[in-house]
Structure formats: structure tokens, C-alpha cells
Amino acid sequence: MGGLGIIEIILIASNILLSLKGFNDRSFFNDWLFQVGKVLEQKEYKRLITSGFLHVSTMHLVFNMITLYFFAGHLESYVGPFAFLLIYFGSLLGGNLFALLVHQKHWAYSAVGASGAVSGLVFASIALFPGMQLGFFMIPIPIPAWLFGLGFILYSIFGIRSQRDNIGHEAHLGGAVIGLLIAIAFQPQVLTSNTLTIMLVLVPSLSFMLVVLFQPSLLSGHYSSVRKTEKVRNQVKADEHYNAIKAEKQKELDRILEKIKEKGMDSLTKEEKWHLDTYGDTI
């Protein structure tokens, strides 16, 4: 693949620096992650983008950045900086919006990672470069791009339907489709030069997305019966955690107010003033 340009270097550096900060600063991590309730109820739409610069672990970060490294340079040199950035951030946003659609009733659902954006880069490359083959560390034989694309899409659909792991399959699928569509918009001639691969990716993906959009009961009904008890248990835990945090903040507020009553406003420390000013925003 082509060498990295300044855009790719900035993206990788931003992901690394912000993810490292998130590893060490839980408050920062919680303020930036994608969470359905925060987006829908509190209108914190920034999380649709900011969550793409956080990761849950070093391995999660390294895997995404390695993939970004291998695909970004060649793709950007082919489509140009503007189209490349549109693919990256469009895929990131599209992946999170699809996750929002799938989990709109699961307000405690949260996710982080650049996977949606990276999936968009991979599938834009699959669309733009007919005959491309992908190699993997564990597999000595390169895999045709169309076979990888089809397998990835089917695996993502299965993962969304089964909900058996903690992988953000929704962001992967949404990001992949958006990245591929943006690439086609900039290079429409690939519809004739790479028709089979594009159809193998788009037909099952868009069909499944239409089911989610117009018949969401078919999706939720599948795993509500399988994981109903687990979802209720997780929601109870989330509620208990929220109530415990709220009670602790109320206790701290009461102490600060008592201090003001006894010694006046000037007696407060900077941290106490911060707690007082932000109390309403943090519960």
C-alpha cells in the first residue's frame, strides 16, 4: 500500500493520544463514548464522532491502527484528501447511526472505537480496486476481496442478530456500507468494472438494513427471547450504578452547601466550586 501522508499521520496520532487519555481518565472516557441514552435523551450528538477516537484496550487500538495504516495511504493517494476524509468520517458517523438505529431501545448500550471508520476505508478499497486480494497474519494464502467482503458482511449480520459477543458489529456493517457508497459516488465507473464484488456486498447489507428499518421487531424479537433475562439483569445493574453515583454526588453537594452556610462561598476550593457548577450536568 502507499505511504502515509499528513492526514493519516494526524488520524493515527489522534487515535493513539486520545485513547491513551481515555485509558487513564475514566471521566474523559465516559464523556466521549457513544451511548444511546446520552445521544437520544441528552442530544449529545458529538459522541457519534468522539467515540471513534477512543478504544477499550491497547489490542483494540493497535488492530484498528494497523488496518488504517495498511489501507489509508493508497486510498488517499487514489481518491484525494477530501474524498478520503469524507469516507473516514462518513463511515464513522454512518456506523454509529446504524448502531443507534439497532439499539434505539437499549439506552444503556455504549461503544467506542474507530472500527466503523476503518471498515469504511477497507470497503472503499474493495470497491475501487478490482482484483484486490487481502492477506492475513494467520492465513498464508491471499483471500480475494469479494470473498472477504461477503464473509465480513454475513458475519456482521450474524453478530447483530445473535448478540453473542461485545463486538460492535453494527458499526462495522454501517461503516463498511457507507465507505463503499461514498467511494462509488466519487468513482462511479467501478459499478461496471467491479460489479460482482459491489453487488455481493451491497445486496445482503442493504436488505438487512431495510429489515432493521421497517421491521425492527424481527430483529429485537430474535434475541429478546434468547437474552431477555440477561438484558433485564444488565439494565438493573446499570440503574443501580447510576443511582449509586447520583447518591454520592448528592452527598457531596450537601456537604458543600453546608460549608457555604457555615463559612461562606469564598471558603470553597476550586474542586468544590466545580462540583457545584456542574452538578446539574453530571446526574
**What CATH number should be reported for the domain holding residue 62?**
1.20.1540.10
pLDDT category at 226 given cuts 50, 70, 90 is very low
Q: Are residues 104 and 209 in the same domain?
A: yes
Residue 80: which region, alpha, beta or left (left: phi > 0; alpha: psi -120 to 50)? left
Query: Does 173 lie in the same domain as 268?
Result: no
Do 236 and 272 lie in one domain? The reply is: yes
Does 126 reside within a domain?
A: yes
Instruction: Tell me how many degrees the CA angle 112-35-84 measures, rounded to the nearest 5.
Output: 45
Is 57 within a domain?
Answer: yes
Cβ within 8 Å of residue 14, ≥6 positions away = 53
Measured CA to CA, the distance from residue 18 to residue 3 in angstroms comes to: 23
**Range in 80-84, 156-160, 242-246 the model is least confident about:** 242-246
| 74 contact partners, CB below 8 Å, separation of at least 6 | 1, 2, 125
Question: Does residue 238 sit in the same domain as residue 146?
Answer: no
Q: Which amino acid is at 18?
A: L
51, 151: one domain = yes
Q: What is the pLDDT of residue 227?
A: 46
Highest mean pLDDT pick, 162-166, 191-195, 221-225? 191-195
Q: Region 213-224: what's the mean pLDDT? A: 62
The set of cell numbers assigned to 181 is 457508497
pLDDT at 63 over 70: yes
Mapping DSSP onto H, E and C, the string for the chain reads CCCCCHHHHHHHHHHHHHHHHHHHCHHHHHHHCEEHHHHHCCCCCCHHHHHHHCCCCHHHHHHHHHHHHHHHHHHHHHHCHHHHHHHHHHHHHHHHHHHHHHCCCCCCCEECCCHHHHHHHHHHHHHHCCCCEEEECCEEEEEEHHHHHHHHHHHHHHHHHHCCCCCCHHHHHHHHHHHHHHHHHHCCCHHHHCHHHHHHHHHHHHHHHHHHHHCHHHHHHHHHHHHHHHHHHHHHHHHHHHHHHHHHHHHHHHHHHHHHHHHCHHHCCHHHHHHHHHHHHCC
Residues 43, 158: one domain? yes
Grid coordinates standing for 282? 453530571
pLDDT at 272: 77
- 210 and 245 share a domain? no
What's the pLDDT score for residue 85?
A: 97
Q: What pLDDT score was predicted for residue 118?
A: 93
Q: Are residues 131 and 264 in the same domain?
A: no
Q: Is residue 222 part of a domain?
A: no
Domain presence at residue 114: yes
pLDDT > 60? residue 221? no
Total structural domains within the chain: 2
The reply to whether 207 and 246 lie within a common domain is: no
* Contact (Cβ atoms closer than 8 angstroms) between residue 110 and residue 35: yes
Domain containing 50: what range? Answer: 6-214
**pLDDT mean across residues, the chain:** 83
Whether 16 shows a pLDDT value over 80: the answer reads yes
Whole-model pTM: value is 0.74
237 pLDDT band, cuts 50/70/90, is low
Q: Determine, yes or no, domain membership for 1.
A: no
